Amino acid sequence: MSDNKPLDLEAILAGGESVDSAPTDYQTGFAAVIGRPNVGKSTIMNEMLGQKLSITSHKPQTTRHRIHGIYTTPEHQIIYVDTPGMHLGGEKSINDYMNRTANSAFADVDVILFVVEAGRWTLEDEAVAKKLEGIETPVVVLMNKIDNYKNKEDLFPFLQTVGEKVQFDTLIPMSAYKKSGLDLIKKEVLKYIPHQAMIFPEEFVTDRSQRFLAAEIIREKLMRTLGEEVPYGSTVEIEQFKYDEEEDRWFINALILVERKGQKQIVIGKKGALIKTMGIQARKDLIGLLDARVHLELWVKVKANWSDDARALASLGYDDNYSS
């Protein structure tokens, strides 16, 4: 990776220098999206794919698994690797799993997209920057949420901070919310993607199964419905995932697992109102995912201490070598 050049702050805030167009022969490669929790990594990947794949919410550590999002055109195939946020604290096995999963994204990728929040540098950002020291993989810093600043010159001190903390090849100001900077990111990524045949069939949008995506959709509705009240020790397990050809309908039974009895009632809500809302919202997204009618049943079950039990984590799909 090249050494940092002096920062041209005005050029950066104007959108960066022009990027050479991609070669006409085919390119395929991997771009890892990394950063601390809640900086917009999953939203950025969804926008780069042009469709929703990774779940999102305002709750930190929404993403718990590594997910490959595959963007294929006649000229190139870019595999974006969405990862859990690298975080400090949290001594449970699930915290260790998420940090290991995020760290694993550094290996065997062609470019790293390090997402930071405009104007905010934390100890967790510092920890991510430390992990990038000495690596040879090109690093592109994505400074997200610049739409929060009317006067872009207010960001000059922050740009200087990032320049001192991170050895990067390019810095791109952007806003996932406003969908700005996305084309520049794609062009920059293509500078580092090798020339080779496509890795995945062109119809693939992810290497994850429909069953896995269904569980993630339900977990997203859980987090969005409950907001700050969502129990951190909660997850979703699919018990039945079956398609009936005669009815052209999927039958899905899912368990929402919590760690304590008191959490169960929080998820269910008064007279079952909250779990009913989750079910309605999840069913709508599942119909879109599966392109068929869906019969969805949700249940809540207490599974004590699952988030700190390595065997329980593996049985629930929190596995470093996933196959689902």
Write out pLDDT tens, residues 222-247.
Answer: 888 887 666 567 888 999 999 999 99
In DSSP terms, which residues pair with 113 in a beta bridge?
33, 140
Q: In which element (H, E) is residue 170 found?
A: strand 170-173
CATH number of 210-315: 3.30.300.20
Residue 273's SS3 state is helix
H runs (alpha helix) in 195-293? 210-226, 261-268, 273-290
Query: What residues does each domain of the chain span?
Result: 9-190, 210-315
* Greater pLDDT, 9 or 154: 154
- Classify strands 249-258 and 235-244 as parallel, antiparallel or unpaired: antiparallel
Q: Yes or no: say if 80 and 73 are a contact pair by the CB < 8 Å rule.
A: no
Residue 22: pLDDT over 60: no
What pLDDT shows up at residue 225?
Answer: 86
pLDDT tens, position by position, 263-300: 899 999 999 999 999 999 999 999 998 999 999 999 99
Does 3.40.50.300 match the CATH number of domain 9-190?
A: yes
What pLDDT shows up at residue 231?
Answer: 56
Domains 9-190 and 210-315 share a fold: no
Smallest Cα–Cα separation from 55: which of 222, 181, 200, 176?
Answer: 222
Distance between CA atoms of residues 93 and 104, nearest Å: 16
pLDDT tens, position by position, 42-82: 889 889 998 888 756 555 455 556 788 999 999 999 999 88
